[in-house]
Structure 1
């Protein structure tokens, strides 16, 4: 069985291991990244390296976009030398970036105008999930498009079709609000243990297996204990996502008080210069908000 050629646009922290898993699954991959060196690392795994988005897409049956935000995706897909415009009708565009719901809906419309199928398929699981091909993949789009992309998506994680175009991004906003608030609560809990005189590492160990236990408690809690904030998911992108979620909630007439408070904490963290750190670094902001007595 011949596997489709995949154009992979955006080979950063998440995109590179995702593309690598496609290669390991046998998919031909043609990669492009704005910083060429990041794409070049994939050549050792068998990827062809393109000099432009359009060159990456030319002759591909599937185009995956894993870029930082909506405007960047729009420019790469539909701007000058746009990757989507280089695809033949019937090809599939999969945007795996975290972008606004309305942006995904509009991208789906533009793809349809060019005879292309479209999925918005953002992910959760961080760099570790990308490396281990265990990402949760929330997919919006038509059922036929999901069927067309299922094998490709399954090489990177667990895809679930949640509804029409835009609903993948909506599911990701739900995910990001829950992740952000959970990270904030884990940080508060460990700070309370730390300042209350307990051994935070032992508190962390004691709560494993209980209702508190979760990947965030295990992974990000451990990062907080180790003060290791090497970015898997930078705080600046967490803030982007909470801002997007709150803006969409406002469009729906919803008030989300917990999400708003957590968003303000991440905003303070970014303003303090920690935006490039992993979002687990929020505990640093809580420590700044609660200085030790002189």
Structure 2
């Protein structure tokens, strides 16, 4: 597995492709829009002019795209992955999409002799840059073991969650917990500020107890400074919560807090917050609490 076709050089995909180059792989990168190949080229990778050029001769094809429609766009059709990747190659979809879409991709790829793993990630842009992502894998165990060196160039926690689609199911659960946690932290921030407490000191205390979490630790600066520079965009988390609620309905799981979190994210989208960090759920709590501070 020395040659990799990497499709999707965005916020997450670009540093991931760079880390694969650093690990010694020959990486052919392609992106749907122009101007994204600079970091890959600087790391010794190669730019592909088309999907066909990226995947031809590849041992592994990796997709890192926003949602199922984009994955399906690059996978299917005469110019897509399935039509141009050699039989026996491994397609690893590291996008976050609906579990059923991953199941369908694996089934369609099998008809072309291509193996598939769904392998969504958690850890955000910082985790992608540092190569410490958590990777949730769905698919055959033997395929995961074959791909493990590739995953080890990208992340530190690599776990097989079960068959096709179950990596995506675990990622959906991750996004459910994350959304509720961010919302809880945002409510605590407003609660503390309106009580007159020193916010930074209070968040430090909370972080040291049972209320502590990775969200509180990693988003503390965002909350204190109202800095919503995106490490994970609200629009993407809103999309993920749609996956959560649709999947919960399909399997008969009741997620009342998840439903509320999804609606609060929908409210953020309606305010025009799609392109800023998901920690901006705090802005919604401020508005509900009568703050007149302008959004930063």
TM-score, normalised via structure 2 length = 0.96
Match in the other structure for 2:101: 103
Q: CA RMSD in A?
A: 1.3
Match in the other structure for 2:192: 193
- The alignment status of 1:216 with 2:208, answered yes or no, reads no
CA shift, 1:40, in A, is 3.2
The 3-state SS of whatever aligns with 1:219 is helix
The 3-state SS of whatever aligns with 1:37 is coil
Distance in 1 (CA, whole Å) between partners of 2:19 and 2:275 is 26
The 3-state SS of whatever aligns with 2:62 is strand
Match in the other structure for 1:113: 111
CA shift, 1:61, in A, is 0.5
- After superposition, the Cα gap between the structure-2 partners of 1:80 and 1:232, relative to the gap in structure 1 and judged at 3 Å, is farther
Q: Is the 8 A contact 2:18 2:39 kept in 1?
A: no
Structure 2: tracts of 5 or more residues without a match = none
- The alignment status of 1:56 with 2:54, answered yes or no, reads yes
- Report Cα offsets for 1:97-144 as digits up to 9, x if no partner: 000010000000011000011000000000111011110100000112
Structure 1: tracts of 5 or more residues without a match = none
Distance in 1 (CA, whole Å) between partners of 2:259 and 2:84 is 41
Question: 1:131-150 alignment to 2 at 5 Å?
Answer: 131-150=129-148
- Report Cα offsets for 1:247-287 as digits up to 9, x if no partner: 11101122210000010100000100011111001101111
1:77 is aligned, of 75, 78, 93, to: 75
- The alignment status of 1:285 with 2:279, answered yes or no, reads no
List 4+ stretches of structure 1 deviating above 6 A: none
TM-score, normalised via structure 1 length = 0.97
CA shift, 1:221, in A, is 2.5
- The alignment status of 1:10 with 2:8, answered yes or no, reads yes
Distance in 2 (CA, whole Å) between partners of 1:96 and 1:291 is 40
Match in the other structure for 2:120: 122
Q: Is the 8 A contact 1:187 1:221 kept in 2?
A: no
Distance in 2 (CA, whole Å) between partners of 1:277 and 1:79 is 34
CA shift, 1:35, in A, is 1.8
Q: Is the 8 A contact 1:138 1:159 kept in 2?
A: yes
The 3-state SS of whatever aligns with 1:138 is strand
Distance in 1 (CA, whole Å) between partners of 2:37 and 2:77 is 21
